[in-house]
Structure 1
Amino acid sequence: MKNVEALIDNPGDTIDQLVAGHRVAYGLARPFYHDPEIYRRDMERVFRRHWHCVAHESIIPNANDFEVFHIDTEQVIITRAADGAIHAILNVCRHRGAEVCTKQKGNARVFVCPYHAWTYGNDGSLRAARLMPKDFRREDHGLKTLHVRVVEGLIFISFAEVSLDFGEVEHLLHATCGQYGWANAKVAHRETYPVAANWKLAVENYVECYHCGPAHPEYSQTHALEQPLHMIEAMNDALEARTCALGIEVGSGNHWQTSREGREAIHAFRYALYEGVESGSEDGKAVAPLMGRFTDFDGGVTSIHLGGTTFLVCYPDHGMIYRFIPKTAETCEMELIWLVDGKAEEGKDFDLDRLTWLWKVTTAEDKAIIEHTARGVRSHYFVPGPIAPMEHNELRYIEWYLDEISHP
């Protein structure tokens, strides 16, 4: 990268020049991981354009249940109305902008702004605005609502005025998560990890397994993905027959596309566990009852990358939702959500410590690695190196990201 520091000192078209100067098959330059202007563009052209999974609908099982989600500077209230419909509304009063919901979660038919008592239904509609003139139209001042899709129990939201087409995503989620019974699953545990790093460092770490061998010995004992693809080709080929028998469709699962054509990006793939391994656990043994169509353990994992911030992992006995949440230019969060069969009972059908052990250990290791990297790339002497063959998903992600921030 030439004259990076000069570009930083001269705003204007700095970002576009950085994109144009990116070296193909290399990592991103230093400013992409700490520059506030790039972060703001990330928010406008990635986060406010794409779909994001925020939760599984089992977190709001009853009519009038709600929970507030924080993404960058936005607060989104996810509600279940009396008719069962799920809504996503911004926690911003249409009068003076105060937060209308002051609790993190609960059950409420209405939200009353603590400032001037404007009252909103849990679908966002304005129910009452005290002492306003007679010509005031309540229907014009409801809370801002976001696009919502619920597929196989997963709640997706989009901030875009016109949302990206979700058809390919919906089809592929039915063909993957649907076979694992996620629509009838429930949340067994959630854990949030604050990370002192730009959100892209966290995502780039997640999408490649080049680091798995040296950084994740626990994961690498059971998951063959820690090896180069050519070394586990035979294992993955053997898995293919079992994949077809279960009806899991990943053969046409690569729709990793930019938003230029108006469609959301999704990529699904399968990979093998080592011989005798049933699930993602400390000892490789099952940690919960089988889910969905599974009557036995098939020796594989289904992985799904969706929209740039959402990543899903499907084992026969449990599932994982991995959310990446931007906070500032140099901080983010990773939220992990563990799913089990909706009828499974903790203490009887599964032990929570055993269920969560592997990904707690792995994510704690990831947090440390990402933060080591964040401190390193702050150096004025940092120059990005070449992407290794095992980092092919990272390379694809970087190319996708650069295209996304290149067009309004």
Structure 2
Amino acid sequence: MGIIPIQQISHNDPIDALVAAHRPGHGLARAFYSDPAIYERDMKRVFHRHWHCLAHESVIPNPGDFELFKIESEAIILSRGADGTIHAMLNVCRHRGAEVCTKPKGNAKFFVCPYHAWTYNNDGSLRAARLMPKDFDRSAHGLKKIHVRVASGLVFISFAEKPLDFDPIEQSLRTSCGQYGWGEAKVAHREMYAIDANWKLAVENYVECYHCGPAHPEYSQTHALEQPLEMIEKLNAAMEARTCALGVEVVSANHWQNSAGGQEAIHTFRYALYDGVSTGSQDGSPVAPLMGRFSAYDGGVTSIHLGGTTFLVCYPDHGMIYRFIPKTVDSCEMELIWLVRGDAEEGRDYDLEKLTWLWKVTTEEDKKIIEHTARGVASRFFEPGPIAPMEHNELRYINWYLDEISRP
């Protein structure tokens, strides 16, 4: 995968000209974080083209359950039908455009538009349209639906008319977080963080650990990603031996690619915790019952980067979903979702404060450093510097992003 060759980019388009002017091996120029026109292109060519994790399906466990999700200017109703099927619909009445779902979550057999009382079933079909002519075709006026797929308990949506092939993603998730029992997991906690920064600054911060030592002392006490490559390789080899001894096979695979061939980008990789550390917690001690195929701790973590906005972290006793959500050109949100075994009970099997401590502390630190960066990047004198060797995932992400926004 690489950026589209400069000769294939129209220099008459100011955004394409900025892409062509990008200096290889360096960060993005200021305009990519502040130009409203680039933000609009981000929405069309990244967010409307790729798959995004919306939730774990356990948030709507019963027929009739629904929850409302917002991504930028779009609102999506996620609902479970009477037959258990999950539907994703735009919250826009097919009459005059009013929002038909006015509650953030709940259980309902149908949604009634507060404007003119058009009524929709929870699968999006139009149930009733009062005082319309006899020849009115209700079947042609259901709520607009977007593509939805469920894999290993995770609900993904795509705004694309023809979405990218999801089958390879489903297989990758089955052989990674599926081994951790995510399909049978439940949500223990969710936390939304408002960030005063362009969404790309938040994602770029997440994908590299060059900053982990200086910015995350708590995380760095248990996770070894900031160590030299030789030490990481030694720790990883010991981790893989322990995983194999448990009879668990978690497949690492790098399919980080552009969308030109109709494929989604996904990268699954594993890394070790320090010796004696069981999981991601304040002191490395277990915080919840073991999940999936794990009968003991292997001292490792599985990380999954998917589609540009979805990032997953698998520990043997709990899981983390990171969602990055654009709001405006200079604001975004990060949602963190903690997963535990489906039959685990708070207070009996896990202490919520201990379960969430590490990633709450780490994310609060991330919010501060991202916003520090946003204020610095806003300077007219900002000039992007070279990407460090430890930021290889960020470099890959930047190249992928530039390729995507260059691709019609």
Match of 1:345 in 2: 345
Alignment partner, residue 169 of structure 2: 169
Contact 2:248-2:294 at 8 Å conserved across structures: no
8 Å CA contact retained: 1:175, 1:247: no
- Match for residue 19 of structure 2? 19
Mapped to 2, the partners of 1:289 and 1:102 lie a distance apart of 37
Structure 1 position 372 matched with structure 2 position 372: yes
For structure 1, the residue ranges without an aligned partner over 5 or more in a row are: 1-10
User: Equivalents in 2 of 1:96, 1:204: separation in Å?
Assistant: 39
Deviations 1:33-87 (A, max 9, x none): 0111000000000000000001001111111000000000000000001110000
Secondary structure of 1:376's counterpart equals: helix
**What is the 5 A alignment of 1:1-400?**
13-245=13-245, 246-251=247-252, 253-400=253-400
Helix, strand or coil at the partner of 2:180: coil
Q: State how far apart, in whole Å, the 1-side matches of 2:288 and 2:355 are.
A: 7
CA contact (8 A) 1:321 1:338 kept: yes
Does structure 2 conserve the Cα–Cα contact (< 8 Å) formed by 1:172 and 1:249? no
Contact 1:168 1:255 in 2 (8 A): no
Shift, 1:129, TM fit: 0.7
Letter in 1 for 2:251: V
- For the 8 Å contact 1:236–1:272, the answer to whether it is kept is yes
Aligned letter for 2:142? G
Cα distance in 1 for residues equivalent to 2:249 and 2:399: 28
Where 1:33 maps in the other structure, the secondary structure is helix
> How far 1:12 sits from its partner (Å)?
6.6
Q: Tell me, in whole angstroms, the C-alpha distance in 1 between the residues paired with 2:339 and 2:352.
A: 11
- SS in structure 2 opposite 1:88? strand
SS, match of residue 115 in structure 2: coil
* Aligned-partner Cα distance in 2 for 1:136–1:341: 49
What is the Cα deviation at residue 14 of structure 1?
Answer: 0.9
Deviations 1:345-365 (A, max 9, x none): 000000000000000000000
SS at match of 1:260: coil
Letter in 1 for 2:345: E
Q: Which amino acid aligns with 1:313?
A: V
Range 98-107 or range 229-238, more displaced = 229-238
Give the Cα–Cα distance (whole angstroms) in 1 for the partners of residues 75 and 241 of structure 2: 45
Aligned to 2:401: 401
Shift of 1:204: 0.2
Q: Tell whether the 8 Å contact from 1:287 to 1:355 is kept in structure 2 after alignment.
A: yes
**2:179·2:250 contact (CA, 8 Å) conserved in 1?**
no
Percent identity, aligned pairs only, is 75
The DSSP-based 3-state class of the residue aligned with 1:226 is coil
User: What displacement does 1:236 show?
Assistant: 1.0
Unaligned runs of 5+ in 2: 1-10
**Quick check: 2:124–2:144 contact (8 Å CA) kept in 1?**
yes
TM-score, with normalisation over the residues of structure 1? 0.96
Cα distance in 1, alignment partners of residues 222 and 215 from structure 2:
14
Deviations 1:298-342 (A, max 9, x none): 000000000000000000000000000000000000000000001
Counterpart contact for 1:228–1:390, Cα < 8 Å? no
Provide the rounded CA distance (Å) in 2 between the counterparts of 1:168 and 1:180.
19
Q: Any conservation in 1 of the 2:66–2:77 contact (CA below 8 Å)?
A: yes
- Which residue type is aligned with residue 385 of structure 1? G
TM-score, with structure 2 as normaliser: 0.96
Q: Is 1:256–1:266's contact at 8 Å kept on the other side of the alignment?
A: yes
Count of aligned pairs: 397
Q: Secondary structure at the match of 1:236?
A: helix
Provide the secondary structure at the position in 2 that maps to 1:190. Answer: strand
